[in-house]
Amino acid sequence: MGFGLVLALLAAGFVQWRQSMLLRDTLRAWPDSPALLVYQAESEYLWLRERWLRALDEHEPIDRHALELRYEIWVSRVDLLDAENARRLIRTRPESLQTLDRMHAFIAAADAAFAAAGGPDRTVVHQLWPALEALGTPIHALSMSVTHGIAEASEARNDAMRRQNLLGIGLLGFLAVLTLAFAFVALRHVRQLRARRHELEELAASLREARREAEAASEAKSVFLANISHEIRTPFHGLMGMLSLLRETGLTPKQIDHLRTATESADHLLAILNDILDMSQLESGRMTLAPAPLDLRALLRDVEALMRPQAHAKQLALHLDADPGVPERIVADATRVKQILFNLLSNAIKFSEHGAVALDVHLRADVHGRPLLEFAVTDSGIGMDEAMVARLFRRFVQGDNSRSRRYGGTGLGLEISRNLARLMGGDITVRSQQGEGSCFTFQMPLVAAADAPAGPRALPSGPGHSARVLDVLVAEDHPINRQYLAALLENLGHRAHFTTNGEEAVQAARERRFDIVLMDLHMPVLDGVAATRAIRSLPEPKAATVPIVALTADAFPETRERCLVAGMNDFLTKPVSPARLAASLRRLFGVGVCAVPSEEAAPAPAREGQAALIDDNAVAVALQAIPRERLAQMMEDFLAQGPATVQRLRGAVRDGQPLDLRVNAHAAKGAALNLGLAALAATAEALQEGASHLPAHEIARLVQRYEELLVHTRQAAAARGLARAPAADPAVV
């Protein structure tokens, strides 16, 4: 409409301009001035004729001066008729041009005669009179012709003025109509906008009401999920606990296979339940992060340890690599970062049938130059087209239905991972091509541990300080581990009370008020998980809610999950370092419970065939909490008990008791890890893991290996001043 109005105004302006040009041309051609000149020329001719007649009278003397003056005036008037405007009017009639030429011819003849006679004498006057008299009629005709031309031009001018006025009136009417039309359309549009505004207000009110209803429904859904999760988890905990207890009994290989299938199904159900609860927390905004300093490469080793069996089962190569510039320690929520990486790697392995899966960690920068940590998970799997990528992060969507049926899954994992990444301030993107694999990129802001804000630090205990002293119940069946934990707690300023099995721990918690329980998982009579459930079932509220921290050499995620499901508050893997124990106490009781040891990364459990006899890093960690003499005594006691441990292991092999073999191997592994005896810990771990499925001769070989390592370990410890040297070097079989 605006464009049409502009065109109409431009057209009207053009017409007005054109008319103004025509009017200017008409006014320029107005003959008033030429007509006056013709009239003056005729008048002067008459005056000249009268003076010429007087000069012809013989009775009067000739006034040559007056005649010559009148002649000059007439000539000047005739010359004025040669002007452009006059000649343009005269040219319109041929006879008028002839008259003008005759006047010029007479003037030329008169000038010549006057020049020859020395002026207008009587002879020249008589000679020129006929020619002068003959000009009278043509000059009068010229005057009449000009008068008619003036009348015609005046009529034409009047017509032009009338047309101009009519056109102006027409344009004014057109603009008036156009204005009225625009006003009508604008008024109609305003009415439509008013009606639309009313509709939008009604729609907004409906949306507000719908939002309130949706929020109420969402809140009801959240309450329902919280309730149903409790209802599901309660029997589920019982199921997991019974499976755990059943795992510790002597089972046939077929029963072990059935138990493994049941455990995997239970773990799968638990993963689905956790996904649903995570999504509920993300939707309700109750999901929070717990960033803390962590060793990035240790986190990557944990991820690799969990993912490698899945990749190995599908004969896939698994590569994890971090650029040299990536910092060793960062600040992040380790649990949520692992959750995202587990999900991305699990999907990559799931959808790859051959080739490799890689996790590469890089340093990047965002558009503002701020550092980012980028985890790129690349696979050689089936890939995706653009349409599938567009649907990928939608809830309950997994590629397409056929793939969902083939590969399984709830379709929540990627959405949860992306929401977690965005909660961290990052995001997840994907690049993929059908049949050529995919690359999922998880980016998060990089906060190096050195740049993290300093949190509150606990005051060291001693004079002038008021650190809280805790009463700690320690449930641990191995004597060396009890000595180690006693030294750690004593160094942190707390009182330790020990029990040797889970049943005693439950009884102690029932009879006495403790601030915290450190619970070993593998103990005789009643294991740590069952003891935790029993404590949580105590009738006394304070006893039932005491914080419980798991202590185990099993660093597997399923073990951690089993502990948390049973009701434990935290999870510590052996060897238990002073820093990790202090950090756990601070998380549960605040910063005023103990001094803050220096942070360090606990050494990873060594594997047979590649482990050193003594892990110097683990020994250094232990020496932070235990005097060297006491650590040497503990190591001496452990090595002295070694032959008895070997006898128990051989007895379990001889009697076909895999459960006893596992229990004894686990106890030996935990104590060896705490003391930094890496090779013994690795061999004990191999015995624990292979107790149920390795053939007898392999188990016997591992027991023999453990016995041999006792001697070599004593030699290595003696070289470090941590044990007595053996009396003689035995032959190594």
Same domain, 442 and 495: no
Cis omega before residue 524 (within 30°)? no
Least confident of 263-267, 487-491, 561-565, 647-651: 263-267
Residue 706 maps to a domain: yes
Amino acid at 508: A
In terms of pLDDT, which residue wins out, 199 or 523? 199
Question: DSSP class of residue 369?
Answer: S
The candidate with the shortest Cα–Cα distance to 663, out of 698, 687, 633, is 687
Burial class (CB in 10 A: 0-12, 13-18, 19+), 328: middle
- Counted residue by residue, the chain has a size of 733
Q: Do β-strands 427-432 and 438-445 pair in parallel, antiparallel, or remain unpaired?
A: antiparallel
Average pLDDT of span 634-644: 88
User: Tokens in use for 135?
Assistant: 């000009």
Domain boundary among 602, 629, 664: 602
Least confident of 22-36, 133-147, 315-329: 22-36
Contact by Cβ (8 Å): 449, 298:
no
Average pLDDT of span 502-511: 92
Least confident of 226-230, 397-401, 482-486: 397-401
Same domain, 513 and 613: no
Instruction: Read off φ and ψ for residue 278, nearest 5 degrees.
Output: -60, -45
Residue 606's pLDDT is what?
A: 39
Least confident of 92-96, 217-221, 492-496: 92-96
Write out pLDDT tens, residues 217-231: 777 776 676 566 656
The candidate with the shortest Cα–Cα distance to 385, out of 404, 400, 407, 395, is 400
Residue 194 burial (CB count, 10 A): 10
Write out pLDDT tens, residues 681-715: 888 888 887 776 666 667 777 888 888 888 888 88
Scored b (16 or more CB within 10 A) or e, 654-678 reads eeeebebbbbbbbbbbbbbbbbbbb
Q: Please give the Cα distance from 711 to 485 (Å, whole number).
A: 25
Same domain, 585 and 615: no
How would residue 344 be classed by pLDDT, with cut points 50, 70 and 90?
Answer: very high
How would residue 518 be classed by pLDDT, with cut points 50, 70 and 90?
Answer: very high
Question: Can you tell me whether residue 653 is helix, strand or coil?
Answer: helix
User: Tokens in use for 565?
Assistant: 């499901």
Question: DSSP class of residue 452?
Answer: S
How would residue 604 be classed by pLDDT, with cut points 50, 70 and 90?
Answer: very low
Residue 440 maps to a domain: yes
Average pLDDT of span 292-310: 85
Residue 609's pLDDT is what?
A: 36
In terms of pLDDT, which residue wins out, 27 or 691? 691
First to last CA, the chain: 103
How would residue 439 be classed by pLDDT, with cut points 50, 70 and 90?
Answer: very high
- CATH of residue 355's domain is 3.30.565.10
Same domain, 614 and 586: no
Contacts of residue 27, defined as CB under 8 A and 6 or more positions apart, other chains included, come to: 157
Residue 445 above 90 pLDDT? yes
Scored b (16 or more CB within 10 A) or e, 61-98 reads ebebeebeebbeebbebbebbeeeebeebbeebeebee
Residue 496's pLDDT is what?
A: 92
Q: Please give the Cα distance from 339 to 345 (Å, whole number).
A: 10
Q: What's CA 521's distance to the chain center, in Å?
A: 43
Residue 250's pLDDT is what?
A: 67
Residue 174 maps to a domain: no
Residue 399 above 60 pLDDT? no
Question: Can you tell me whether residue 127 is helix, strand or coil?
Answer: helix
In terms of pLDDT, which residue wins out, 412 or 573? 573
Scored b (16 or more CB within 10 A) or e, 564-590 reads ebbbbbbbbbbbbbbbbbbbbbbbbbe
Contact by Cβ (8 Å): 541, 510:
no
Residue 381 maps to a domain: yes
Question: Can you tell me whether residue 321 is helix, strand or coil?
Answer: strand
Same domain, 597 and 610: no
Least confident of 148-162, 175-189, 305-319: 148-162
Same domain, 586 and 640: no
Q: Do β-strands 570-573 and 516-520 pair in parallel, antiparallel, or remain unpaired?
A: unpaired
Rounded CA Rg of the chain:
57
Q: Do β-strands 356-365 and 371-379 pair in parallel, antiparallel, or remain unpaired?
A: antiparallel
Q: What percent of the chain has pLDDT over 90?
A: 13
How would residue 499 be classed by pLDDT, with cut points 50, 70 and 90?
Answer: very high
Residue 237 maps to a domain: no
Question: DSSP class of residue 722?
Answer: S
Residue 17 maps to a domain: yes
Q: Which domain holds residue 596?
A: 466-602
Q: Please give the Cα distance from 444 to 70 (Å, whole number).
A: 113
How would residue 405 be classed by pLDDT, with cut points 50, 70 and 90?
Answer: very low
In terms of pLDDT, which residue wins out, 320 or 400? 320
Residue 238 above 60 pLDDT? no
For 501-535, the DSSP string reads: SHHHHHHHHHHS--SEEEEESS-SSS-HHHHHHHH
- CATH of residue 694's domain is 1.20.120.160
Residue 599's pLDDT is what?
A: 43
Write out pLDDT tens, residues 164-199: 778 778 877 888 888 888 888 888 999 999 999 999
Q: What percent of the chain has pLDDT over 70?
A: 79
How would residue 608 be classed by pLDDT, with cut points 50, 70 and 90?
Answer: very low
Same domain, 303 and 425: yes
Same domain, 439 and 314: yes
Residue 439 forms beta bridges with which residues?
378, 431
User: Tokens in use for 295?
Assistant: 């060793």
Residue 556 maps to a domain: yes
CA angle 324, 329, 332 (to 5 degrees): 120
Residue 166's pLDDT is what?
A: 81
Range among 61-75, 266-280, 447-461 rated most confident: 61-75
Q: Please give the Cα distance from 60 to 213 (Å, whole number).
A: 131
Q: Do β-strands 495-499 and 438-445 pair in parallel, antiparallel, or remain unpaired?
A: unpaired
In terms of pLDDT, which residue wins out, 283 or 361? 361
Average pLDDT of span 506-515: 92
Least confident of 20-24, 34-38, 106-110: 20-24
Residue 190 burial (CB count, 10 A): 10
How would residue 592 be classed by pLDDT, with cut points 50, 70 and 90?
Answer: low
Q: Please give the Cα distance from 94 to 373 (Å, whole number).
A: 102
Residue 244 maps to a domain: no
Average pLDDT of span 114-139: 84
Residue 283's pLDDT is what?
A: 66
Domain boundary among 158, 188, 204: 158
Same domain, 440 and 320: yes
Mean pLDDT estimate for the chain: 79
Domain boundary among 550, 579, 602: 602
Same domain, 558 and 666: no
In terms of pLDDT, which residue wins out, 232 or 433? 433
Contact by Cβ (8 Å): 691, 661:
yes
User: Tokens in use for 401?
Assistant: 């239905």
pTM of the model as a whole: 0.39
Instruction: Read off φ and ψ for residue 141, nearest 5 degrees.
Output: -60, -40
Task: Give the CA distances from residue 595 to residues 460, 466, 493, 571, 581, in Å, rounded to whole numbers and listed in that order.
Answer: 4, 11, 8, 20, 11
Domain count, the chain: 4
Same domain, 553 and 635: no
Same domain, 445 and 470: no
Residue 426's pLDDT is what?
A: 92
Amino acid at 134: A
Q: Do β-strands 570-573 and 292-295 pair in parallel, antiparallel, or remain unpaired?
A: unpaired
Least confident of 167-181, 518-532, 588-602: 588-602
Question: Can you tell me whether residue 604 is helix, strand or coil?
Answer: coil
